Chains A and B, each alone.
Chain A
Amino acid sequence: MRAEKPIIEEETETPVVKGKHQKPLRNSKKGKLLQGGYKTSSWVLILLFLTIVLGMTLAVILSAFGEEWYGTILPEGYTIEWFVNAWQAYEVGEYFKITMEIVLTATVISLVLSLPTVYILARRDFPFKQALLGFFQMPFTLPDLLYAIPVASIFYSIGLAETMTGLIVVNLIVGIPFSVFILLPYVESLDPRLEYAAQSLGASKFKLFQRVIIPQIVPGITASAINIFIRMFNTFTIILLISGPKTQTLNVMVFSVLQGSGSQPPAMLNSLALTLMIPLLFFSFLSLWVSSFTQKRLGK
């Protein structure tokens, strides 16, 4: 419960500060009272907030797994029927497949396109490097609505909207700069002497990438790929604007259902929303596992 070190408590009588300064508060009764009040109110704040967070999460999970739940403290029975119903009624499997296709393709394309840039950024200094880095930061710092609306209007006029290609392409807007920033530290930490050696032995640029650079950053690429994947899985605004009825990602589909269905039982809607959690939890654990694995391998 105590945040302080015991040393502090021993220093109760310090003649140095007395004198013209005011008396230290912490010896007085008032000081102790204030300290106690601060501790109590902090605990009240923490408990209140965590109760609400955990209560909310529990409530939505119980509701998704509960049979009948109206006005009682707990549901009357538990079932997975809502999940089965929701998955069948809204073809969750189908949308999950579409989402995976879009996100996987976009992840691979972003990594391939950003790798040469990352290499130049890591190895070379040039006049506008900082400006270029700033530019790469813009797509994920600017509000996405600012480019999403014109992109949607352009895509509708050239017929790319509501197609798989279109959905993959819009994911690159955030995917490329994001993967530049994630890969950069990995490439910067490579030893350039290996590259000099390879080149002095007559390796071409392509061979250099293929045989020297890429094998060294495989752990980095894996970790980045998972992060980019999670990021793209959550892309929302722009997909919502250009998605068609059959080409939607999972979270856009769930959002559209939640937005427009007052007649469905809430338990079914809750189970549909919770479906979104499963792939994300899976990939978060995968990312944690990969990063700890690579750290062990690299001996950090």
Chain B
Amino acid sequence: MNQEVFTRKRDYLLLLPSLLPLLLLFVYPLLKGFIMTFQEPGSSAMTMHNYIEFFTNAKYYDTIWRTLYLVVPAAILELFIAFGITYFIRGKMRGGGLIAGLTIFPLTLGSIIIDMAVIAFFKPTGWFNTTMINMGILDEPFTLVYNYWGAFIALIILGVAFIASNLVGMMDSIDPSLEKAARTLGASHWVTFKRVFWPLIRSNVLTVFALNLIMQIGVYSTAVIVGNPASETRTFVVVAFEEAMRNFNYNMANTVAIVMGVTQLLVLAIVFAIRKRGFVGSASTFK
């Protein structure tokens, strides 16, 4: 098989139809955007003004804490819920497929419909509050929409669906005979989980966790529709859009986006530093 149809150097020109548009539409804007953050609108002099403004004006630097305060607790809770559900239904449990399907189902609806659904279900006259009042648990409706909790619930629903959609496949890829071996040698369920199952799936779980966290740091439509974008759920993207679409200050908007990107990278670095301290590899080899 030493004959090749495409052997000449000239054939690499075939890469150009896809590379050129990307260089023009993706790489150039990315670089220009980075330079833009060092400029003021309407001038080309280099200055650190945008970053100084971001880190000294509470209107801007507050968004870091507001975003993380909303997203990090949600992401951790999502991981526990999704892991609990998918671990319980792994293997050949009857009805497991149905449960997995229903858990992942919100992903197909998309963020906007989930936001409206959270409002319909958790609003003061919605099913949640009426049921709670009828059961005598609450005296008066609990405000769960158009504030922190509304965005929190919507994030949880979508995040659990995302994490579960990834975990289902990963759990199935772990060879069940490893667990069986541990169980026949007398290990309890808990010990089998702690010493066999968890070390094998740990690195994948952390990767999915990091991906989900990064995605949710960029939360926008949820924060605007079910949250309170003026104060409690004023996330990075809300501020960036406000700068770009209301004030037409693309330089500041991109500064916010860069700070968001750096935050995401830091989160990624932290999770991967934790991930490195354990087994990283496949557990499906000897099936």
How far does the Cβ of A239 sit from chain B's closest Cβ, in whole Å?
A: 12
How far does the Cβ of A47 sit from chain B's closest Cβ, in whole Å?
A: 10
CA distance A180 to B17 in the complex (A): 12
Contact present for B130 and A53 (CB under 8 Å): no
A107 lies within 8 A of chain B by Cβ: no
From B17, B30, B119, B188, A113 is in contact (CB under 8 Å) with B17
State the interface size on chain A (CB cutoff 8 A).
98
Q: Which residue of A lies closest to B116 (CB)?
A: A273
Contact present for A26 and B188 (CB under 8 Å): yes
From A17, A57, A149, A273, B186 is in contact (CB under 8 Å) with A17
B258 lies within 8 A of chain A by Cβ: yes
List A residues 208-222 near B (Cβ within 8 Å): 208
Contact present for A126 and B260 (CB under 8 Å): no
Which residues does chain A contribute within 8 Å of B92, judged by CB atoms?
A: 3
Q: How large is the interface on B (under 10, 10 to 19, 20 to 34, 35 or more residues)?
A: 35 or more
CA distance A48 to B226 in the complex (A): 21
CA distance A42 to B26 in the complex (A): 45
Binary contact track B84-123/A, C-beta < 8 Å → 1, others 0 = 1100111111100001001101101110111111111100
B151 lies within 8 A of chain A by Cβ: no
List B residues 141-168 near A (Cβ within 8 Å): 157, 160
Contact present for B21 and A255 (CB under 8 Å): no
A81 lies within 8 A of chain B by Cβ: no
Contact present for A199 and B5 (CB under 8 Å): yes
Which residues does chain B contribute within 8 Å of A93, judged by CB atoms?
A: none
A100 lies within 8 A of chain B by Cβ: no
CA distance A154 to B33 in the complex (A): 10
From A50, A142, A255, B261 is in contact (CB under 8 Å) with A142
Q: Which residue of A lies closest to B244 (CB)?
A: A149
Sort A-B residue pairs by CB-CB distance and give the 7 closest, nearest first.
A17-B186, A150-B33, A25-B188, A116-B14, A56-B117, A150-B29, A153-B250
Which of A's residues lie within 8 Å of B, judged by CB? 1-5, 7-8, 11, 14, 16-18, 21, 24-26, 31, 34-35, 38, 42-43, 45-46, 49-50, 52-57, 59-60, 63, 70-71, 73, 112-114, 116-117, 119-120, 123-124, 126, 132, 135-136, 138-139, 142-147, 149-154, 169-170, 172-173, 176-177, 180, 192, 195-196, 199, 205, 208, 234, 236-237, 240-241, 251, 254-255, 258-259, 266, 269-270, 273-274, 276-277, 280-281, 284
8 contacts between A and B (CB under 8 A): A3-B90, A8-B184, A35-B189, A53-B102, A60-B117, A113-B21, A240-B241, A273-B112
